[in-house]
Structure 1
Amino acid sequence: MNMALPSEGPAPAEVFLAEETLLLGMPQLCLAGLSEVWLLKELGHRHWMGLAQLAGRAVPDFRATDGAPVYAAFRALSVERADFAALGENDRLTIRTTICRLTHTQCASRHELTCEGQPVGTVNLVSTFVRRAPGGGNHTVARVALEAFPKLMTPLMAPGFAGESLAARAATFRSSGAAPEAQFASAGLVESGCVTFDPCPAQDFNGAGFLYFSSFVALVDRAEWHFDGRPAPLATTRRREVYFHGNIDPGERVAVRRLKDEQGARERIHHYRLERAGDGLPLADAFTQRVF
């Protein structure tokens, strides 16, 4: 991987991090082409390593002033213009990553995907730095600002950097409940189904002990499969936008509520909400366009 280290002095608003081409095989693929869950895990790692570069560090070992570990928790993601079904075994996927600091606590990365020069999707990730309270679990997570990064510049980022608009849409949804676009809006948010899952610590949690952000997407896909019945038409993601609100501890269950699901001949649009089953705390809202 080619990594461009930050230069001396103030960091630019948008920093080019890496471009790499991967040969696709079984770990990266699923029945319908490129595995979205694998992709999110890969891009989450690139985002985390990019934060280390922004801070001028070899590895992303961030600590609060009292020595407590600090992590980058994802607050929002978007998948745009995806054509994952076009990818298969032995294809070469190129990932071009850029990253930017949005605020004192938030950073965003953009990952442009191409195959043989043809675009196959773009993924945007927005994260915030968090820490647990001393002796606490995932219910005690709070934001924290780090001083390891260069000072924010004006303007904060290159014009049109998508992370800013994604972060703004997520903030608007949390304050008003407004869907990212009219096609995802639900009339009164009437629940039409609910399924509960018991995430597995060995499969669904990351090394920091959090239910990993890619597992939220996997649970949405499992809920879609559950509600569809058998046999279900094979669908792939064209667009997806997820806003993350909270997390769970190992042993807790997740309720996935279907608030909207409209299916046509060639596509479906749905809005699912994930909640902590024990107390109903919202964990995430996922808005998805899938194509058959």
Structure 2
Amino acid sequence: MNVAFPPPGAGDALACRDASMLDRIVLGMPHLSLGGLSETWLLKELGHRHWQLLALLAGRAVPEFRDAESNPVYAAFCAVTISNAAFGMLREHDELSIESRIARISRTQFASLHELRCRGRSVGRVELSSVFVRRGIPGRNRSVARVALDLFPPAALAPGFGAAAALAARLRSGEWQEHFGFVRAAGQVRREIVINPCPSQDFNGADFLYFAAFQSFVDRAEWEFFNLSISSTLDRDLIYHGNVEIGDRVVVQLMGERRSADRIAHWCRITRHIDGAPLADVFTEKLIAPV
């Protein structure tokens, strides 16, 4: 990985506006799934890179952040957008290049862009938007609140960054009319499944339901609803609304779908089973492999 971190204790004096890294990975079984690149692995990897880039942006050797009262502070993702993906073309032993950059786009928001290339061509672009949060009550995920840290360079105009954050703001407002070809007013629960997230598989080391688990829940629901043996993501937008406690079950609801001979698109909403609280809206378009 081509990235240089400052020495421990270097502090804010080394904070930089342009934090980036370039990595080349020879793909093997951990990186792949049936039909190409594993999207779950990819999101976990890019989430980790986002966290590392935040440290670099702040001039720190490791991404450990605390508030004024020394409470742990974490990066919570507001939205993830995947565009122009060609995950289905990737195979074992391919070399995947990931170029990542991060920018502060407002007082509390950060965005990272990740360009994916293989065999001389683009195979996808991913943007992650995050804010810092802390728990108001130790151990309670529902008690998280946004917090601002004064460790980073001031927000500045960052061309190309911010689309995911803008999307999250629009869809979270509840005033959106249409997205991904789906009309909000026409959305209704067509089918649903209940999932009990597994603590050892779906939660991260900070005890939050991991942002990459939401995408995997939608894929499990897609398998249940449509029984598609091989499909690969072309575009996907994930907008996050909340989190759950260990032991909470979640519901994946199919709100809309459309199909053609070789493609499927769907809008899924994820809610908390106990009270129906919204957790995420996920819009997906996939290429269906010929049988």
- Tell me the TM-score range normalised by the shorter chain: over 0.9
Tell which deviates more after alignment, 142-151 or 49-58.
142-151
Q: 1: distance between equivalents of 2:153 and 2:229?
A: 49
Q: 2: distance between equivalents of 1:136 and 1:29?
A: 34
Aligned length: 283
Among 219, 222, 226, which residue is 1:224 paired with?
A: 222
Distance 1:179 1:81, change over 3 A: farther
CA deviation map 1:79-128 (0-9, x unaligned): 00000010000000000001000112110000000012210000100001
Contact 1:194/1:257 (8 A) holds in 2: yes
1:271 counterpart letter in structure 2: W
Q: 2: distance between equivalents of 1:198 and 1:215?
A: 12
TM-score (norm: length of structure 1): 0.92
- CA displacement at 1:169 relative to structure 2: 1.6
Contact 1:4/1:17 (8 A) holds in 2: no
SS at match of 1:2: coil
Q: 2: distance between equivalents of 1:130 and 1:9?
A: 24
In structure 1, the residue matched to 2:283 is 287
Tell which deviates more after alignment, 199-208 or 256-265.
256-265
Q: 2: distance between equivalents of 1:73 and 1:151?
A: 20
In structure 2, the residue matched to 1:277 is 273
Runs (5+) with no aligned partner, structure 2: 7-11
Distance 1:136 1:206, change over 3 A: closer
Residues 1:126 and 2:122 aligned together:
no
Runs (5+) with no aligned partner, structure 1: none
CA deviation map 1:266-287 (0-9, x unaligned): 1111000000100111000001
1:197 counterpart letter in structure 2: I
Among 256, 270, 282, which residue is 1:260 paired with?
A: 256
Distance 1:126 1:180, change over 3 A: farther
Over the matched positions of the two proteins, sequence identity in percent amounts to: 47
Tell which deviates more after alignment, 91-100 or 2-11.
2-11
Contact 1:210/1:249 (8 A) holds in 2: yes
In structure 1, the residue matched to 2:232 is 236
- CA displacement at 1:187 relative to structure 2: 4.5
CA deviation map 1:50-82 (0-9, x unaligned): 000001000011001111100000000000000
Residues 1:19 and 2:35 aligned together:
no
Among 48, 51, 64, which residue is 1:48 paired with?
A: 51
SS at match of 2:172: helix
Distance 1:10 1:233, change over 3 A: closer
Q: 1: distance between equivalents of 2:50 and 2:229?
A: 33
Q: 2: distance between equivalents of 1:117 and 1:8?
A: 38
Q: 2: distance between equivalents of 1:44 and 1:182?
A: 24
Contact 2:252/2:271 (8 A) holds in 1: yes
In angstroms, what is the RMSD of aligned CA positions? 1.7
In structure 2, the residue matched to 1:213 is 211
Q: 1: distance between equivalents of 2:233 and 2:70?
A: 41
In structure 1, the residue matched to 2:2 is 2
SS at match of 1:3: coil
Distance 1:58 1:76, change over 3 A: same
Distance 1:254 1:226, change over 3 A: same
TM-score (norm: length of structure 2): 0.93
Distance 1:75 1:196, change over 3 A: same
Q: 2: distance between equivalents of 1:189 and 1:271?
A: 9
Contact 1:10/1:151 (8 A) holds in 2: no
1:158 counterpart letter in structure 2: A
In structure 2, the residue matched to 1:95 is 98
In structure 1, the residue matched to 2:164 is 166
Distance 1:177 1:274, change over 3 A: farther
Contact 1:100/1:157 (8 A) holds in 2: no
Q: 1: distance between equivalents of 2:75 and 2:19?
A: 19
Distance 1:41 1:262, change over 3 A: same
1:237 counterpart letter in structure 2: T
- CA displacement at 1:39 relative to structure 2: 0.2
- CA displacement at 1:176 relative to structure 2: 3.0
Distance 1:180 1:238, change over 3 A: farther
Distance 1:95 1:28, change over 3 A: same
CA deviation map 1:151-210 (0-9, x unaligned): 33xxx2332x23x12211210111134266351334421110110000000000000000
- CA displacement at 1:147 relative to structure 2: 1.1
In structure 2, the residue matched to 1:197 is 195
